[in-house]
Amino acid sequence: MSPGNPELVNALVQVLGSENVLTALEDILPYGFDGTATFKQRPVAVVFAHDAAQVSAVIKLARTHRAPVVTRGSGTGLSGGSVPVPGAVVLCLVKMDRILEVDPANLTLRAEAGAITQKIFDAADATGLFYPPDPGSMKISTIGGNVAENSGGLRGLKYGVTRDYVMGLEVVLADGSICWLGSKCVKDVAGYNLRDLFIGSEGTLGVVTQVLLKLLPKPAARQTLLATYARMDSAAETVSAIIAAKIIPCTLEFLDRKTIQCVEDFAKVGLPRDAEAILLIETDGHPAAVADEAAKIEELCRAHGATSVRRAATAAEAAQLATARRSAFSALARLRPTTILEDVTVPRSELAGMIREVEAIATRHQLNIATFGHFGDGNLHPTILTDERDTAEMHRVELAFADIVQATLARGGTITGEHGVGLAKKPFLKSQLGDASYELLRLVKRSLDPDGLLNPGKIFDQS
Amino acid sequence: MKTLAEMDYSVLQQCMHCGICLPTCPTYLETKEERNSPRGRIALMRAVADEELDITKAFGDEMYYCLGCLACTTACPAGVNYAELFETARADVEKKGVLASPKRDAIRWFALRLIFTRPRLLRAMGRMLWLWQASGAQMAFRKLKLTRLLPANLRQLEPQAPTVLAKFSHQLIKPVEKPASVKRRVAVLTGCVQDLVFADVNRATVDVLLANGCEVHTPPVQPCCGSLHAHNGDTDTAGELARRQLDLFDPFVFDAIISNAGGCGSHLRHYDHLLAEDPVYAARAAEWSRKLKDISEYLVEIGFRKPTGAATASTEVTYHESCHLCHGQKVSKQPREILNAIPGVKLSECAEATMCCGSAGIYNITQPETSGWLQERKLGHLRATGAEVVATANPGCHLQIANGFAQSGEKTTVVHPVVLLAQAYRNETGAAR
């Protein structure tokens, strides 16, 4: 039984049909959270839209009834971006999941926001093309959610993040109007670049309903290497050495001892359980270049203290290693009941120091912290393993969090590399941006969503 | 058995709602609604434990909408024990009686408490069904279109009734059979449906064990293993049946206890957990669980002898993985190894081999719509391989797939991998056991 807003619910049923409006407790409870630990808030209703016109109708109704709208895809976010706010209608787009067009002549792909990222990758792949962004959750996450959070992934080092592949998008604004921003033109400088404004806006400025993505030719070859280290510093030094040698692998992932053990418990792919750290490195491109780079990388790994370097013999073995790496965050849940993931990024030169600092913070606050991440782009995921029912420990977790953020900012880093600010990071945003930039963000929000109904209370508190 | 509210809370907390289970869950794929997904169901269970949600009819419906295929447990990096959560939740639903209705209660009493606890009665029923089918009465009934007299749900199910074989396991297998030279001593579980409908699978199981130097013990009357009960929220009867099983078989005197049905095996290997707090049976149950092996798993473990004969002429075979064999027991490579060892068999992999076929115990009776959708999806993938034989190792899957092909008039046959292996041994020239 939903406590609030029966009139709104009736109106939504009129527009969408009763099968697309959920209000029973058993139906809405599982929409009270996303992939982020500890945030929970029950919505008043969950609605499914099937096209932009329905999204527009939902937004207009919500506006009339002054109900906040929280848009959601598969709910895999890790900053609380799609956790409902009090009184919210959850607008779920997973049923808008069609891939509308693959255009090999222009190297583009157009899809509805609810399309699963893996399906987009597969559709491109089937025509010999390549969609590079690959969030760890790509088998589950939706492309609309990727755009809203500006998701990164394992190939960010060479290929960048979701933003780098969005050529256009359809967005429904807070007044219900439907706009198309961007085009298939590689060069297009007509007016302000509003498209970029919506990428990474976390559902606070509009609802992305369709995306036009840039594709690349599929790299002809790929080589995956796994380097094992007895010392964390050696792994960090290897990364610096690879970059200094002017080699940009597409993937340069790092796992610490705790993470290695949890991942191996789940995936059983033969990771060295006794290693202090491993690097998972992948290079792709022209076969000759790949062979050359792989040889140089292997040499650099050994020169900087790798105890062993293993090359994936087959594509299947490489895929297995990548899949194992993608499970890292979830696999860490084996150690303690609650798993809280950080997402800080520092300039690459600061990596080794930052990791040492995270270790010191863990010791200082008597906490269990595992670290993995995208070493190549400086993006670290220190993950605090705790129990949300232990109040004293949770207090220490908060302190440790603040310390990690402070250390990051002191090194010229950013509080989020790929998961967004959402609820998890908003207390820290101002200290990163400074007063003027922070106010500019709020000004943009006020201009586009004057009533503050689109995912309010995310990124910053409502004014 | 503890309730959701009483159980170890950390089992519920283990789910960190990352969503990796979503694309593997058949019911979520069908509806795309969170409550129909593993993490959604766990959220509801946790809400029950947290007293935010009562055990309602909708909660009960959801727990029975889940197939219990356990595909989510294979996908889950966090290692959530979904099987325990699911059985506890269904037991809670039964205790609370939110789904109770005179008809449902009568069916459950008849099936779970009467038929599947009394092997002799089950066989008598099977004998009657066999008479009905073998005498031609069934065909006459169908030809005269008397099926119209049946209620709608039974009318749909009538063509799916399995064909009972003329002989049951105890008529085909002696209580003890010995090979020429004994290397190991094992016990074979004959099952319920397997005993009536697939006694030939049981015979083949004994044959392949004999061919590999095992002395085989097969008590002629065996109780049901209790998996049907545990999966349907009747944990008390499941415990009782497990104890009867342990009275009949002394796990300490065998090298292994062999199951050949994916669904039964998945439950049988957890007697240790089921009876962990039983002061009399706990130790015996632990030994039982240690020795309980699926037939394919055991054959591979003992390095089974590769046959030199062929099963039939060259055959293209595809393999459908029973959910409870691959997700429940993690036995996935071994049946393929058996098939690949048979001369003349060419194994063609099908898409989504590990996805549920919709049989799922009695799910095809309780949820015909979802079951039918999954059956069609499965048949499509099997057809696409072009194989003339589908191998699978669970009677429920066997019937579900065979019925699907029979309905569309296709000739594809369904067979247990060990039946092919037994044939191959039989066809060895100058074959000696």
Same domain, B183 and B296: yes
- Measured in angstroms, the CA of A37 and the nearest CA of chain B are apart by 7
Instruction: Please give the mean pLDDT across all residues of chain A.
Output: 95
Q: Is residue B60 part of a domain?
A: yes
Does any domain span residue B4? Answer: no
Q: How confident is the model at residue B175 (pLDDT cuts 50, 70, 90)?
A: very high
The confidence band for B151, taking pLDDT boundaries of 50, 70 and 90, is low
Question: Is B238 a domain residue?
Answer: yes
Q: What is the pLDDT of residue B155?
A: 66
Number of A–B residue contacts, CB under 8 Å: 98
Q: What is the pLDDT of residues A49-74, one digit of tens each?
A: 999 999 999 999 999 999 999 999 99
Q: Residue A3 pLDDT more than 60?
A: no
Contact A35 B34 (CB under 8 A): no
The whole-number pLDDT of residue B147 equals 67
Q: Is residue B22 part of a domain?
A: yes
**Is B37's CB within 8 Å of A30's CB?**
yes
- B307 within a domain of the structure (yes/no): no
At residue A4, does pLDDT exceed 80? no
pLDDT greater than 70 at residue A1: no
Instruction: Say yes or no for a CB contact (<8 Å) between B53 and A29.
Output: yes
Mean of pLDDT values over A257-262? 94
CA–chain centroid gap for A75, Å, is: 11
Give the CATH number, domain containing residue B14.
Answer: 1.10.1060.10
List chain B residues with CB under 8 Å of A32.
Answer: 43
In this prediction the ipTM stands at 0.95
**Among B55, B81, B96, which residue terminates a domain?**
B96
Average pLDDT over residues B400-422: 94
Domain boundary (B117, B141, B160) is at: B160
The yes-or-no verdict on residue A424 having pLDDT over 50 is yes
Instruction: Residue B421: name the closest of B326, B329, B312 by CA.
Output: B312
Number of structural domains in chain B: 4
For residues B110 and B62, state if they share a domain.
no
Burial A385-407 (b: 16+ CB within 10 A, else e): bbebeeeebbebbeebbebbbeb
- Judge if B349 and B391 occupy the same domain: yes
Same domain for B181 and B72, yes or no, is no
Least confident of A431-440, B42-51, B150-159: B150-159
> Is any Cβ of chain B less than 8 angstroms from the Cβ of A146?
no
Question: Of B160, B187, B210, which closes a domain?
Answer: B160
The answer to whether A74 contacts B13, with C-beta atoms less than 8 Å apart, is no
Give CA–CA dist B385/B421, Å, rounded. Answer: 21
Does some domain include residue B109?
yes
**Contacting A residues, span 3-42, partner chain B, CB-CB under 8 Å:** 22, 24-27, 29-35, 37
How far is the C-alpha of A348 from the C-alpha of B172, rounded, in Å? 72
Q: Are A103 and A184 in contact (CB under 8 A)?
A: yes
Q: How far is A218 from chain B (nearest CA, A)?
A: 24
Paired tokens of B382: 């099997």
How far B316 CA lies from chain A's nearest CA (Å)?
25
Domain that holds residue B58: 9-96
Residues B332 and B265 reside in one and the same domain: no
The answer to whether B75 touches B21, Cβ cutoff 8 Å, is yes
- Best residue in A19, A20, A26, A98 for a mutation probing chain B (most B CBs within 10 Å): A26
Least confident of B32-36, B128-132, B159-163: B159-163
| Predicted pLDDT of residue B121 | 87
On whether both B257 and B283 belong to a single domain, the answer is yes
A265 and B CB contact within 8 Å: yes
Contacts of A74 in chain B (CB under 8 A): 19, 22
Domains and CATH numbers, chain A: 6-92 (3.30.43.10), 99-217 (3.30.465.10), 223-411 (3.40.462.10)
> Which of residues 202 through 261 in chain A touch B, CB cutoff 8 A?
none
Cβ atoms A134, A202 nearer than 8 A: no
A40 vs B contacts (CB less than 8 Å): none
Which residues of chain A lie closer than 8 angstroms to B17, CB-CB?
Answer: 33-35, 75
Distance between B371 CA and the closest CA of chain A, angstroms: 21
The minimum CA-CA distance between B32 and chain A, rounded to whole Å, is: 7
Asked if residue B310 belongs to a domain, the reply is: no
My answer on whether B106 and B74 are in the same domain is no
For chain B, say whether A47 makes contact (Cβ under 8 Å). no
B313 vs B136 pLDDT, higher one? B136
Across B91-101, average pLDDT: 95
pLDDT at B157: 63
Candidates B433, B75, B83, B161; CA nearest to A140 is B75
Distance from B82 to chain A by nearest Cα, in Å? 14
Together in a domain, B256 and B131: no
Q: Quick: pLDDT tens for A14-55.
A: 999 999 999 999 999 999 999 998 899 999 999 999 999 999
CATH of the domain at B343: 3.40.50
Residue A2 has pLDDT above 60, yes or no: no
Q: Is A122 on the interface with B (CB under 8 A)?
A: no
| B259 domain residue, yes or no | yes
| Residues whose CB is less than 8 angstroms from the CB of residue A170 and which lie 6 or more positions away in sequence, other chains included | A52, A178, A179, A180, A181, A208, A209, A210, A211
Q: What is the CATH number of the domain that holds B257?
A: 1.20.1050
